[in-house]
């Protein structure tokens, strides 16, 4: 019989896709989510399945988390406060959710000896300029006076905590650094650029590009990311290590906007919005964020299979369907 896996944030964008993939792979999945950013619609098709269970609760509810962890063989911890807009608007929530939530998960997992896959982010590289980013590279954070770096720092603390539990208590922990995961079901509510551009283009609204638009990112298709997560979950040699997960196809924000306009046949214009106006005065951003995928490729043979255009076409189709169903 396959293992029981607890997914925190299991009704969210990545969590719902992961729940689906693991159930289809024969695992019994329990998804816990407080639905602050996750949505019941994301997992509605899984509810009738006997190998799937959903629990609506905060991971900081120690009694519920303890019970669910005691019944699990593995915890994949995705629950977090995400999105640059949310971080700037509500830094206390960001720090508390990410650090206290992760500590709660690790404490419960350590009590029962559960393997933990811990979701982190490319943001932990901070203002580093050495491209591509390798897992052992230094992290260069901005000033504590700038709340923009609260998310990056909180996720770095999560990594330190996870690896400390591994070294001090022998808890099997794997750290996954996601680089801009995109795909259907992603909310644009907190500044995620791909769904925001696609919705603006489909509504014939101006595409808002922040800054000069020359900043570049690599967008990992959620289906590729799932293969990496499941590969690491099923590989004992991954324990105690940190892995970048994403794509190496780099694109500037203005080029991304132009690509979305072309694929949607939209007549929308591109409008440039200063960072200070979009977020807050003194906002800082990385110019480039490109992962080295050598380490994960060497261990599990991971390589992205989807191009950015493949991913954008799927997001566009999904968003069109959402808009039609909303009337």
* pLDDT tens-digit readout, 40-72: 999 999 999 999 999 999 999 999 999 999 999
Is the pLDDT at 1 greater than 60? The verdict is no
Q: Which of 12-21, 73-82, 287-296 has the lowest mean pLDDT?
A: 73-82
Distances, alpha carbon 142 to alpha carbons 94, 128, 193, in Å: 17, 10, 22
Task: Take residue 16 and report the two structure tokens written for it.
Answer: 């719902």
Distance separating alpha carbons of residues 131 and 179, to the nearest angstrom: 13
Looking at every residue in the chain, the average pLDDT score rounds to: 93
* Per-residue pLDDT tens over the stretch 146-159: 888 888 899 999 99
Q: Mean of the pLDDT values across residues 68-89?
A: 86
Query: What's the mean pLDDT in 303-313?
Result: 97
Question: Among 78-82, 131-135, 180-184, 229-233, where is mean pLDDT lowest?
Answer: 78-82
115 neighbors 56 (Cβ within 8 angstroms): no
**pLDDT at residue 79 above 70?**
yes
Lookup result for tokens 């259907």: 184
Give the pLDDT band (50/70/90) at residue 191. low
Q: Quick one: which of 310, 117, 119 has its CA closest to 220?
A: 310
User: Which position among 27, 151, 166, 279 bears the catalytic label?
Assistant: 151
Strands 173-178 and 242-245: parallel
pLDDT of residue 80: 87
What is the model's pLDDT at position 242? Answer: 98
Name, in order, each residue with C-beta under 8 angstroms of 234's C-beta and a sequence gap of 6 or more. Answer: none
Supply the pLDDT for residue 29. Answer: 98
- What confidence score (pLDDT) does residue 284 get? 77
CATH for 4-183+220-248, among 3.40.50.970, 3.40.50.720, 3.40.50.300, 2.40.30.10?
Answer: 3.40.50.720
Helix locations, the chain, DSSP H? 13-24, 62-70, 84-89, 91-95, 101-112, 150-169, 193-202, 222-233, 253-264, 275-278, 294-300, 308-326
What is the β-pairing status of strands 52-56 and 74-77? unpaired
Range name among 82-91, 106-115, 184-193 with the lowest pLDDT average: 82-91
Residues sharing a CB contact under 8 Å with residue 170, sequence separation 6 or more, in sequence order: none
Q: Is the pLDDT of residue 177 over 80?
A: yes
> How high is the pLDDT of residue 44?
97
Least confident of 237-241, 265-269, 273-277: 273-277
- Catalytic site includes residue 112: no
* 293 vs 192 pLDDT, higher one: 293
Relative orientation angle of helices 253-264 and 193-202, to the nearest 10 degrees = 40
Terminal-to-terminal C-alpha distance of the chain: 44
Cα separation, 9 vs 100, whole angstroms: 15
How far is residue 17's CA from residue 183's CA, in Å, rounded to a whole number?
10
Task: Give the whole-number percent of the chain exceeding pLDDT 70.
Answer: 96
Q: What is the pLDDT of residues 203-227, one digit of tens each?
A: 999 999 999 999 999 999 999 999 9
Residue 313 has pLDDT above 80, yes or no: yes
pLDDT value of residue 123 = 92
φ and ψ at 199, to 5 degrees? -65, -40
Q: What is the pLDDT of residue 103?
A: 97
Predicted pLDDT at 318: 96
Average pLDDT over residues 286-295: 95
């Amino acid at each position: 019989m396959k293992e029981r896996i607890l997914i925190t944030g299991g009704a969210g964008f990545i969590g719902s896709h992961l729940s689906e993939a693991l159930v289809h792979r024969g695992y019994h999945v329990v998804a816990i989510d407080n639905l602050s950013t996750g949505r019941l619609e994301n997992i509605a098709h899984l509810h009738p399945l006997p190998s799937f269970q959903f629990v609506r609760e905060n991971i900081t509810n120690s009694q519920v988390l303890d019970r669910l962890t005691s019944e699990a063989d593995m915890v994949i911890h995705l629950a977090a406060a995400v999105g640059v807009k949310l971080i700037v608007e509500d830094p206390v929530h960001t720090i508390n959710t990410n650090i206290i939530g992760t500590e709660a998960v690790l404490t419960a997992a350590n009590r029962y000896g559960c393997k933990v896959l811990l979701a982190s982010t490319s943001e932990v590289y901070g203002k580093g300029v050495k491209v591509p980013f390798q897992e052992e590279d230094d992290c260069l954070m901005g000033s504590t006076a700038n709340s923009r770096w609260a998310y990056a720092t909180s996720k770095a603390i999560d990594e330190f905590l996870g690896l400390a539990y591994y070294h001090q208590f022998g808890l099997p922990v794997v750290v996954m650094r996601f680089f801009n995961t995109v795909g259907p079901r992603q909310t644009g509510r907190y500044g995620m650029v791909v769904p925001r551009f696609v919705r603006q283009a489909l509504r014939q609204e101006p595409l808002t590009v922040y800054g000069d638009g020359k900043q570049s990112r690599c967008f990992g298709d959620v289906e590729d990311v799932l293969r990496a997560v499941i590969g690491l979950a099923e590989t004992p040699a991954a324990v105690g290590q940190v892995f970048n997960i994403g794509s190496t196809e780099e694109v500037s924000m203005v080029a991304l906007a132009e690509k979305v306009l072309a694929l949607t046949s939209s007549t929308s214009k591109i409008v440039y919005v200063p960072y200070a106006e979009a977020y807050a005065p003194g906002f800082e951003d990385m110019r480039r964020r490109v992962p080295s995928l050598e380490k994960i490729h060497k261990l599990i043979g991971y390589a992205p299979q989807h191009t950015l255009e493949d991913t954008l076409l799927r997001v566009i189709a999904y968003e069109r369907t959402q808009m039609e169903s909303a009337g």
